[in-house]
């Protein structure tokens, strides 16, 4: 049985995305000394996050087990960052020209519903997605036609209220029935960034090092195992640490390479687009139109924000996906090499003409199903970035962490909801090393985040949003908790 070591070990976390920020916060909550290195000026500044994925229902191609894992992990995340969640449902439509049928989705939805009921029974605080009986609801054509005649509801209270704008606006000839409403919520990137930053600011045992780029890591023969070299304001400095957490996002492989650690992984560059629909005066759910990934009929995702703003994904190569946008690691390097044109986009932004072309294509892709949306306008900055996927299966969605050395963890989340499973796995390792008492394993309810003031979260989220040149509506939620 490991004994708790007497001198406090020093933990370095490299990368302040959702993975690094959350693990730094988690470990400081359980009493460890943490230094969080982030090369950028603010936290959670990487690729976008807009869906919670509470059940993985956006992915028909993944296993039921992955969906069940995503459900449990999402519930954990809602409990951890309640103010970052947009509590609006999602409506899933299967197009008439799709090879699948809505009925094919039912066995999995029933499994998810039963699992949700089980999780609530285990701990009533898990009831964060509404009643388990309402986890999903089916709407046949006659119900949709009847709801089409109802006036829209500004603040939807009942499940049916959410279907009204869908019924009024989508081309009912282009979708199969039933439509499926599911309690798949939104996740707000700016509010997540704000919640993480405001919480970390309160932790005296977490040193938050923004604008600090880690440039080298060496294994040391001393008691402290890692010598971290970093650059800040042009100066190079070094510091020794006992445990290293690599949370560098799509650059995780770069740190692996510095240490000579092998790892197979994929990296994919993708983008979502922002549009404004002036004529829209109603409250929308998220709407998903299924389609085969990578073909011109790839899935369309219509994600609402207040003020008539919509974030759009189109899983075609001319919208969200890119030709040569998916790359893999090699025998010589754990870092998949993205083409320069993608790295330029990440580091220096896009050309206005490309933004316009791709956003227009995204608008048209959605307008195929929601004709009135054709009038939406282009907002001049997409949300984009590269994400890593451990292993070689590009459809993997539930992944968390891997260890090479006893004192080295690689965060490899694919979806934000996996961060607390990742925190559990790292905590388990730290218990084995005797860094913390085993009683902290699986801890969830920390006062720091839950005590944050919602107005303060909004204010800081807005300042981040302005700094990053996005409309402030993207910090707002359709439904707050």
Ligand X SMILES: Cc1cc2nc3c(=O)[nH]c(=O)nc-3n(C[C@H](O)[C@H](O)[C@H](O)COP(=O)(O)OP(=O)(O)OC[C@H]3O[C@@H](n4cnc5c(N)ncnc54)[C@H](O)[C@@H]3O)c2cc1C
Question: Is 19 an interacting residue with respect to ligand X (CB under 6 A)?
Answer: yes
321 backbone dihedrals φ, ψ, rounded to 5°: -90, 160
> What is the DSSP secondary-structure string of 194-258?
HHHHHHHTT-TTEEEEET-EEEEEEE-SSSS-EEEEEEETTEEEEEEESEEEE--GGGHHHHHHH
Question: Is 468 an interacting residue with respect to ligand X (CB under 6 A)?
Answer: no
Element at 32 (helix H, strand E): none
Q: Please give the Cα distance from 35 to 440 (Å, whole number).
A: 20
Question: Is 411 an interacting residue with respect to ligand X (CB under 6 A)?
Answer: yes
Question: Tokens 């969640």, residue?
Answer: 85
Contact indicator for 208, 232 with CB cutoff of 8 Å: no
Residue window 44-73: x/- pattern of binding to ligand X, with contact defined by CB under 6 A: -xxxxxxx-x--------------------
Q: Which of residues 270-309 bind ligand X (CB under 6 A)?
A: 270-272
- Tell me which residue of 426, 415, 400, 404 sits closest to 29, measured CA to CA: 426
Stretch that binds ligand X, among 168-176, 197-205, 358-366, 382-390 (CB under 6 A): 382-390
**Minimum Å distance from CB 22 to ligand X?**
8
Q: Which of 72, 88, 137, 415 binds ligand X (CB under 6 A)?
A: 415
Question: Is 314 an interacting residue with respect to ligand X (CB under 6 A)?
Answer: no
User: Given the complex with ligand X, which of 269 and 373 has the nearer CB atom?
Assistant: 269
Residue window 194-233: x/- pattern of binding to ligand X, with contact defined by CB under 6 A: -------------------xx-------------------
User: Given the complex with ligand X, which of 132 and 246 has the nearer CB atom?
Assistant: 246
- Percent helix, strand, coil in the chain (nearest 5)? 35, 20, 40
**Minimum Å distance from CB 348 to ligand X?**
15
Stretch that binds ligand X, among 244-252, 292-300, 359-367, 473-481 (CB under 6 A): 244-252
Element at 341 (helix H, strand E): helix 340-348
Q: Which of residues 171-190 bind ligand X (CB under 6 A)?
A: 187
Token couple for 395: 């459809």
Q: Which of 164, 321, 416, 423 binds ligand X (CB under 6 A)?
A: 416
Stretch that binds ligand X, among 145-153, 161-169, 325-333, 412-420 (CB under 6 A): 412-420
- Calculate helix-pair angle for 64-80, 419-432, nearest 10 degrees: 80
Q: Which residues bind ligand X (CB under 6 A)?
A: 14-20, 37-40, 45-51, 53, 187, 213-214, 247-251, 270-272, 384-385, 387, 411, 413-417
């Amino acid at each position: 049985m490991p004994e708790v070591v007497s001198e406090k070990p020093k933990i370095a976390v490299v990368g302040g995305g959702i993975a690094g920020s959350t693990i730094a916060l988690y470990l400081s909550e359980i009493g460890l000394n943490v230094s969080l290195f982030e090369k950028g000026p603010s936290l959670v500044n990487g690729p976008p996050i807009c869906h919670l994925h509470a059940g993985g229902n956006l992915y028909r191609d993944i296993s039921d087990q992955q969906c069940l894992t995503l459900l449990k992990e999402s519930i954990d995340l809602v409990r951890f960052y309640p103010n970052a969640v947009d509590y609006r449902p999602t409506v899933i439509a299967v197009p008439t020209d799709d090879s699948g049928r809505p009925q094919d989705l039912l066995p999995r939805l029933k499994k998810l519903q039963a699992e949700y009921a089980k999780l609530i029974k285990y701990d009533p605080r898990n009831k964060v997605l509404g009643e388990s009986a309402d986890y999903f609801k089916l709407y046949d054509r006659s119900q949709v036609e009847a709801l089409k005649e109802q006036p829209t509801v500004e603040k939807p209270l009942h499940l049916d209220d959410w279907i009204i704008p869908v019924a009024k606006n989508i081309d009912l000839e282009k979708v199969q029935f039933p439509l499926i409403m599911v309690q798949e919520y939104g996740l707000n990137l700016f509010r997540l960034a704000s919640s993480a930053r405001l919480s970390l600011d309160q932790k005296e045992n977490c040193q938050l090092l923004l604008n600090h780029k880690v440039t080298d890591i060496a294994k040391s023969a001393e008691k402290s195992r890692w010598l971290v070299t970093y650059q800040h304001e042009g100066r190079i400095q070094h510091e020794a640490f006992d445990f290293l957490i690599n949370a560098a996002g799509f650059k995780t492989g770069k740190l692996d390479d510095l240490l000579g650690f092998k790892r197979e992984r994929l990296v994919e560059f993708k983008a979502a687009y922002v549009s404004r629909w002036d004529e829209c005066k109603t409250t929308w759910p998220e709407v998903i139109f299924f389609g085969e990934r990578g073909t011109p009929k790839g899935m369309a995702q219509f994600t609402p924000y207040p003020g008539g703003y919509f974030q759009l994904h189109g899983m075609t190569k001319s919208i969200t996906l890119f030709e040569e946008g998916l790359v893999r690691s090699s025998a010589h390097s754990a870092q998949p090499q993205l083409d320069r044109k993608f790295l330029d986009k990440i580091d220096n932004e896009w050309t206005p003409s490309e933004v316009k072309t791709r956003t227009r294509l995204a608008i048209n892709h959605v307008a195929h199903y929601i004709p009135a949306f054709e009038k939406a306008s282009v907002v001049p900055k997409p949300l984009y970035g590269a994400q890593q996927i451990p292993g070689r299966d590009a459809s993997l969605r539930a992944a968390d962490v891997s260890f090479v050395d006893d004192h080295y963890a690689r965060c490899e989340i694919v979806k934000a909801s996996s961060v607390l499973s990742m925190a559990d796995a790292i905590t388990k390792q730290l218990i084995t090393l005797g860094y913390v008492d085993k009683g902290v394993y699986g801890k969830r309810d920390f006062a720091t985040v839950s005590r944050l003031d919602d107005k303060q979260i909004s204010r800081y989220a807005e300042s981040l949003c302005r700094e990053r040149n996005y409309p402030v509506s993207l910090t707002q939620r359709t439904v707050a908790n």
